[in-house]
Amino acid sequence: MPPTRVAVLGSGFAGLETAFLLRSLLDDDQVRVTLVSDRDDFLFKPNTIYLPFGGAEGPLHIPLRKPLARQHITHRIGAVEGIDPDRGVVHASRGLPIHYDRLVIATGATMRPEEIPGMAEHAHQIWTPAQMHRLGEALQWVAQHAAHGRPQRVLFLVPPNNKCAGPLYELVFMLDTWLRRRDVRHEVDITFTTYERSFIQAFGPRLDEVVTAEFADREIHGHTGAVVTKVGDGQVAYSDGTEREFDLLVAFPPYVAAVRYDGLPADDRGFLACDPGTRAVAGHPEIFAPGDAGDFPVKQAFLAFLQADAVAGTIAAEVRGSTPDSVFEPVSMCVMEMLDKATFAQVPLILTGDAAAPVAVDPAAPEAYRVGTGKIWRLGKKTLGLYLPMRFRRGRPFHAGAPWRAMELGLRAGSRWLAS
């Protein structure tokens, strides 16, 4: 039999994890992998939160030529222009059409700030490194004004249809610590508003309790159920008639699919309808959508890895003619940076079917729901920030091999002793 042709669209967490894990599971004579992406590097986006506070951008970019070549993965640089599921073909902006037997759509999500009137014009956004650098420049002005005794108002905003606001929570805590270290915090009023019913709603009551307590200790004004309707020059309007003024607005806009695929089932935001366990696209067992391109309600790197692992395992089992040994089980892990300490969370999730709260903490797995805060978790954050780039630089998947087993043991031990 000729090798199974697998086309992977996207070079983010889900795309690279799927490609690298497939190559570790199958030999050259079993699978031929082609990766299509619009860039020649991988961006370690979670650590862009450090850029506004002086972090270096260079280490966050991982060139892909060597790791892909090392794993015999063909790289086609170009934008995905469409697919033909009936013929099994991908059309890209450069080169000939790519034929596939299995297709992995991992083109991720993007932001649509124009969904909220005035947001694009008046808010600093946090999706790209360039936006993070511009936010850093704005924060320097805030600190400078505060140092000269001119009070500043910084407003953080999570609008409806944002799918993972974790980085915005990190930034508000990091800003508080950063301002205190400059002895200007007393001149800066910080407010955080979110449309959700609770803080970091998807991750349950324990994260809400942590955030609520941290906001109180740090004198950050936090508001839930605050649905933005319009952003103006120096003012935000909410659905309940409230208006809040700002000197600096930092917002995480609504999510939409980065690429829409005609002919495939998707929701109104372009996210592909998938089987919960295998992440196969509904009606298309040969097409998979791990990570942000799919319809899982929470868009987060660790969950993208788990989905990619399920996809790679399913494809490998199909090639071997065996039964997949695992499916996607949404147990999130995250570390929320605060600059002076960090919060770790391990959260088992279930789908609820409720559009207002599409996921919840799994009540059948209470022992797996763990949250802890302290300085030691900053070390965990830094370790993950070193481990992942190291793996991808070598063309290795995140969740595989002895290094991951050692890290997983450390996380489990830490969560057992330092979280509850």
How does the average pLDDT of the chain come out, rounded? 95
Relative to beta strand 243-245, strand 235-238 is: antiparallel
Check residue 418 and give its pLDDT: 66
Res. 416 pLDDT band, cuts 50 70 90:
low
Res. 415 pLDDT band, cuts 50 70 90:
low
Alpha carbons within 13 angstroms on the beta-carbon side of residue 411 total: 21
pLDDT in tens, 155-168: 999 999 999 999 99
CB 205 within 8 A of CB 196: no
| DSSP secondary structure code for residue 28 in this structure | T
CATH code reported for the domain at 113-254: 3.50.50.60
CA dist., res. 223 & res. 199, Å (int): 9
Burial of 15-28, coded b for 16+ CB within 10 Å and e otherwise, reads: bbbbbbbbbebbee
> What number is the average pLDDT over the span 230-236?
98
CB 100 within 8 A of CB 212: no
Provide the sign of the torsion angle of the four alpha carbons 41, 329, 28, 392, taken in this order. positive
Q: Residue 76: is its pLDDT beyond 70?
A: yes
Q: Where in the chain is the domain with CATH 3.50.50.100?
A: 4-108+258-418
Q: Residue 213: is its pLDDT beyond 70?
A: yes
Q: Residue 94: is its pLDDT beyond 90?
A: no
Other C-beta atoms closer than 10 Å to the C-beta of 269 total: 16
Relative to beta strand 235-238, strand 228-232 is: antiparallel
Q: Residue 413: is its pLDDT beyond 80?
A: no
CATH code reported for the domain at 4-108+258-418: 3.50.50.100
Check residue 380 and give its pLDDT: 84
pLDDT in tens, 279-321: 999 999 999 999 999 999 999 999 999 999 999 999 999 999 9
Q: Where in the chain is the domain with CATH 3.50.50.60?
A: 113-254
| DSSP secondary structure code for residue 187 in this structure | G
- Helices 166-181 + 204-218 axis angle, to 10: 20
CA dist., res. 288 & res. 313, Å (int): 12
What DSSP string describes 283-312? TEEEEE--GGGB--S---HHHHHHHHHHHH
